[in-house]
Chains A and B, each alone.
Chain A
Amino acid sequence: MEQIKTVQSLDTHIAECTKVLHAKLKGEGGKRAIVVCGGTGCIANNSVDIQAEIEKELKAHGLEDKVTVNHVGCFGFCSQGPFVKIFPEDTLYRAVKVSDVKQIIEKDIIGGEICENLLYVDPQTHEKVAKQDDINFYKKQVRIALHGCSLINPDLLEEALGYDGFKGLKRAITQMTPQEVIDEVLASGIRGRGGGGFPTGRKWQFAANVQADQKYVVCNGDEGDPGAFMDRSILEGNPFEVIEGMMIAGYAFGASEGYFYVRAEYPVAVSRLQRAIEDMEKVGLLGDHILGTDFSFRAHIRLGAGAFVCGEETALLNSIEGQRGMPRPRPPFPAIKGLWGKPTCVNNVETLSQIPFILREGASAFNCIGTEGSKGTKVFALGGKVNNVGLVEVPMGTTLRTLVYDIGGGIPGNKAFKAIQTGGPSGGCLTEKDLDTPIDYDTLVARGSMMGSGGAIVMDEDNCMVDIAHFYMDFIVDESCGKCSPCRIGTKRLFEMLTAITEGKGTEKTLEDMKELATVIKNGSLCALGQTAANPILSTMTNFPEEYEAHVKEKKCPAHVCKNLMQYQILPEKCMGCTLCARNCPVSCIAPTADPVTVKPLPNKFVHAIDQSKCIKCGSCMAGCHFGAIIKK
């Protein structure tokens, strides 16, 4: 590609690339285009092989010149992947296997017929849906952060340019003063998407007000909330958008260097980001005098090394500086004294990904979406016990019901909805009664949870809430950096108390002690990790007091999860005496009794029984029994 060093050349490139991309998607010149999902989820389901097979088949049929094929970022509907989409018809095939490729090429590409068996089937109406936009999962979504994801080739600068790329940057750096950019971002009402929800414009203003020879923008791509993958998908799907947002931030408060801090667990995101940066450097979109202005900017990548606390902004700065990732006391705030002592703004990936839209379309296009206190859209990673697991971007103020039922398609296996956890290990759970609450920063806090970065894990009747709290506390104990003793020691004690409860050794006093200790930890911790560490416990205790009571008083786990408080039992009236469970049991604790089976009496068929004293509660027997004769009690 030629250099893009003036506004004029950017305009020419944008016009040309837009035309080319449009022609590709609309099938001009009789051409067709196939895109294959190249997100981490679909790659794990062989999408790379699928793409190779498509290329091979096209070649075999002499179609390489008539049909293009490339990978795109995450479609969001990960539970239905891998996806293959055909343009210009806009046909979406899901759960594609390598063995389906022949059919797609021969029937659809050559024969012009849709492969019905590969279409999404609406679980309610049982109708087949051919187009993405007609699928319920997508209907209520509004894509700002996910702009271009699953549409453009994330490894091609040309496609980013053809899909609104760098229009926001151009407006900012060639038509506006830095203060005007800050004012526009302030007016948009955008708040940080990384957890705290602090107004982004205000943060930039602080840094802008400080005089310094060097300032930094840091993009927080640590995404530590386990079970959340918004930032990863944005980086994988449209890295250019995030770089553009970072550059606009740099222009606004006077930074000429930017650092991306990305989890090492995200190799695909890192390599796409790396490539995007290199390609932008090559054409001059990163470097000195961008678009012929006085604005210069360079971007770098730093990898995390598996420490959750490094998502906290001051710990992150320490980590970039090559130290242990321990939080720093604030003040001074990073905006005043951050990376290497210089004014620094740390912004989340999703926050930065929405900045180009605000500059391109104007603040009012953003703040007309959302609620009073929370503007724009939010990406959620919907996971756990919900039919449509995936990434969804919805306007702020969408209700949980819409999220879980309309978009998420409800709970699998007709189980009952129990709770949804937002805010990860710092958050809390929301229940049935909260389903119609419009979700935004403030309503979630009012209900005892928080927005967090957007992880939303659905739980059903089979999940034990004490066990969930135990799980989060285990996580926190692992991840506490150890600097403050209330966090380091206190969370360990909380974990031990929860362990005691799940083992049937807890008492009512344990519950009271936990509440008291929670307050101590909250007040005595330096960073939000410790300050919020007890939230999952407090929130489950508030919402599910009866479950805790059952554990401590009756020594029962109502959901039959806690191993010490449950048993596997064979129902004599259902057992067929097939011996399968006895053969599968790893500790050989199942044996036939002397009782003949009653269901279908046959000679030599005896009802089986479990020796509870030896059972290790692995569940193999129950999973294997074909007659539903084994239950948890």
Chain B
Amino acid sequence: MAIKPEVVKGVNDICDKYANEPSPLMMILSAIQKEYGYIPLEVQQIISDRTGIPVAEIYGVVTFYSFFSLKPKGKYVIGICLGTACFVKNSQQVIDKFSTLLGIKAGETTKDGLFTIEAIRCIGACALAPAMSINGKVYPKVTPDQVGKIIDEYKKMEAEA
């Protein structure tokens, strides 16, 4: 996969931004993940060239932390909380319902690239358990029978866009 020149520049800029920090790798990766949504090997190579950190080391770090991803995620990332407070209030059933309706398992992305389901650990909204978020927007007290409606909402938004 060829990386677009503007992305190369963007990645280099991010590397330079943190060049004066001690041990900047985590900060660089967080910024790239946030900006581009994933950190493929090609991008890791660019980081390595710019910072002198070996690719093997960068790869090791990227794969260690669940926030960093090697593959692009769907346009809408559905994060369903599997923290304890949500789990005891049946959030597993909410995940199951999303899985059934979208035909993918947690951690997977739909073929059309629209949705990714992620089981996440505590988003700090435990009082609203079971909680979930779609691209950062938090949905409180979700029940399995609301799931169909939530998906339709986004599908409709897509159809209209």
Contact = CB atoms under 8 A, between A and B. Distances in A.
Interface of A: 40-41, 43-45, 78-79, 81, 224-229, 232, 264-267, 302-308, 319-325, 340, 381, 383-385, 389-390, 421, 424, 455, 457, 459, 463, 468, 471-472, 475, 481, 586, 616, 618-620, 623-624
A44 B140 contact: yes
B5 interface: no
Given A78-B126, A229-B122, A321-B23, A385 B60 contact: no
Interface stretch (B8-16, B88-96, B108-116, B152-160): B88-96
Nearest to B25: A322
B87 A471 contact: yes
Most chain-A Cβ atoms within 10 A of its Cβ — which of B29, B124, B145? B124
Contacts of A320: 23, 26
Contacts of B68: 305
Interface of B: 22-27, 29-30, 53, 57, 60-61, 64-68, 82-89, 93, 96-97, 100, 120-129, 131, 136, 138-140, 143-145
B18 to A, nearest CB: 10
B65 A307 contact: yes
A32 B151 CA distance: 43
17 contacts: A43-B138, A78-B128, A227-B84, A227-B122, A302-B26, A305-B26, A305-B30, A306-B67, A340-B22, A381-B126, A383-B85, A383-B127, A389-B85, A457-B85, A457-B88, A586-B100, A623-B144
Nearest to A321: B23
Contacts of B57: 323
A19 B26 CA distance: 44
Query: Which 8 A-B pairs rank lowest in CB-CB distance, beginning with the nearest?
Result: A78-B127, A226-B83, A227-B84, A322-B25, A44-B138, A305-B65, A383-B85, A322-B23
A236 to B, nearest CB: 9
A408 to B, nearest CB: 12
B122 to A, nearest CB: 4
Contacts of A459: 88
B131 A619 contact: no
Nearest to A300: B21
A228 B88 contact: no
Contacts of B140: 44-45
Contacts of B93: 618-619
Given A303-B26, A323-B23, 9 more contacts: A40-B125, A41-B128, A226-B121, A265-B124, A323-B25, A325-B64, A385-B89, A475-B121, A618-B96
Given A308-B121, A459-B88, A79 B29 contact: no
Given A78-B128, A325-B65, A619-B144, A265 B122 contact: yes
A340 B23 CA distance: 9
Nearest to B26: A322
Contacts of A305: 26, 29-30, 65-68
A226 B125 contact: no
A394 B133 CA distance: 31
Contacts of A319: 26
B26 A384 contact: no
B122 A226 contact: yes
Given A308-B121, A468-B88, A389 B127 contact: yes
A418 to B, nearest CB: 10
B144 A227 contact: no
Contacts of B96: 618
Given A322-B61, A455-B84, A620-B144, A383 B129 contact: yes
A390 B122 CA distance: 14
A580 to B, nearest CB: 12
Given A227-B84, A389-B129, A264 B30 contact: yes
A381 B97 CA distance: 28
B97 to A, nearest CB: 7
Contact of B145 (A224, A264, A468, A623): A623
Most chain-B Cβ atoms within 10 A of its Cβ — which of A226, A265, A381? A226
A303 B127 contact: no
Nearest to B64: A324
Contact of B60 (A265, A302, A324, A455): A324
A43 B30 CA distance: 24
Given A226-B82, A619-B144, A266 B100 contact: no
Contacts of B60: 324
A45 B128 contact: yes
A552 to B, nearest CB: 22
A424 to B, nearest CB: 7
A583 to B, nearest CB: 13
Contact of A384 (B27, B65, B85): B85
A138 B57 CA distance: 50
A457 B84 CA distance: 7
Given A226-B121, A308-B121, A383 B26 contact: no
Contacts of B24: 322
Contacts of A266: 124
Contacts of A421: 84
A232 B123 CA distance: 10
B42 to A, nearest CB: 20
B145 A471 contact: no
A40 to B, nearest CB: 5
A40 B128 CA distance: 10
Nearest to A44: B138
Contact of A227 (B120, B126, B138): B126
A471 B84 contact: yes
Contacts of B126: 41, 78, 227-229, 381, 383, 389
Most chain-A Cβ atoms within 10 A of its Cβ — which of B87, B88, B89, B131? B88
A270 to B, nearest CB: 11
Most chain-B Cβ atoms within 10 A of its Cβ — which of A40, A302, A325, A390? A40
Contacts of A619: 93, 144
A533 B145 CA distance: 35
Nearest to A391: B127
Contacts of B138: 40, 43-44
B73 to A, nearest CB: 14
A567 to B, nearest CB: 16
Nearest to B29: A305
A457 B88 CA distance: 8
A265 B84 CA distance: 16
B91 to A, nearest CB: 10
Contacts of B120: 265
Contact of B30 (A45, A79, A228, A303): A303
B23 A229 contact: no
Given A305-B30, A319-B26, A340-B22, A227 B83 contact: yes
Contact of A306 (B65, B84, B86, B87): B65
Contact of B124 (A41, A481, A586): A41
A41 B127 contact: yes
A265 B67 CA distance: 9
Given A45-B128, A226-B84, A302-B26, A265 B123 contact: yes
